[in-house]
Amino acid sequence: MTLKRIAVVAVAVGLVSAWAPAQGTATGTVTIELKGITGDNAAKVETALVKLERDGFCCQGCDYFAKAAGQCPGCKTALVPEKTGALLRDVKIDPAKGTVVFGVAGPHIVRLGDIEAALKPLAIDVDATRFTIGPFTRITVTGVESEDAGPALEKALLDAKLYDTVKANADTESSTAILIVGGTKAAPTLETFRKTVEKAGPFKITQVSWAAACPKCAEKGMKRAGCMSCWEKGT
């Protein structure tokens, strides 16, 4: 393992620690706009999300998940077992608005991909033209080819005036960057966010995820899903 890789892993471990809140920590909610919700299928959608859990193997550094043991295709490290209880809490479906609102349960990280997989059998899709990327969201991006990738991604999102703060943890060995966005006056849609990222270089969004607030920030009143201050300070 190179010194550069060791440094990156050390940072990643710090981030994972900061993102892991205590069981039962109060958090805010995430709203996702969906296509295909009706009064007839709303109950089935709610049931699918309430039962959503994850049982498999993951790479915490690259945010990669697989059903079988093996190596992360990005950093080539061994995947570690991951088994969760319910990932979401307080799930509420609004067929009229075409939305689902939920909180992040316990110490988990909830990935948009988990939600999409749960809803696919019901022919429900995320509406990328309406679904917004709000503050404290974690976005995984591939296509990182140089050390300039992190600053380039930060600059692209800030220059587009999408957010007040953007932090990028980029790793050339796994060709992956993890972004966390801060405050925003008008959160961009997933489609707008994707176009902005792709204009900045050979980047592709592979995952969007949220974590519960850590205990310290929850005590300070930061109830939103995700925790920007801990990520910035490494506490």
With pLDDT > 70 as the criterion, what percentage of the chain qualifies? 75
CA distances from 171 to 90, 103, 174, 176, 211 (A): 35, 30, 6, 5, 21
Contact 119, 41 (CB under 8 A): no
Q: What is the C-alpha to C-alpha distance for residues 137 and 224, in angstroms, rounded to an integer? A: 10
* Residue spans per domain, the chain: 27-126, 138-233
Q: Which CATH number fits domain 138-233: 3.40.50.300, 3.20.20.70, 3.30.70.100, 3.40.50.970?
A: 3.30.70.100
Is the pTM above the cut of 0.75?
no
How much is the pLDDT for 46?
Answer: 95
Same fold, 27-126 and 138-233: yes
Is pLDDT above 90 for 211?
no
Segment 78-134, tens digit of pLDDT: 888 777 778 898 999 999 999 999 988 876 788 899 899 999 999 999 999 999 998
What's the whole-number mean pLDDT along residues 183-203? 93
Q: Which CATH number fits domain 27-126: 3.40.830.10, 3.30.70.100, 3.30.70.1060, 3.20.20.150?
A: 3.30.70.100
Q: What is the C-alpha to C-alpha distance for residues 211 and 94, in angstroms, rounded to an integer? A: 23
Which of these ranges, 35-39, 182-186, 200-204, has the smallest mean pLDDT?
182-186
pLDDT band per the 50, 70, 90 thresholds, residue 202: very high
- What mean pLDDT value characterizes the chain? 79
Q: What is the C-alpha to C-alpha distance for residues 87 and 50, in angstroms, rounded to an integer? A: 8
Segment 159-184, tens digit of pLDDT: 999 998 898 989 898 899 999 888 88
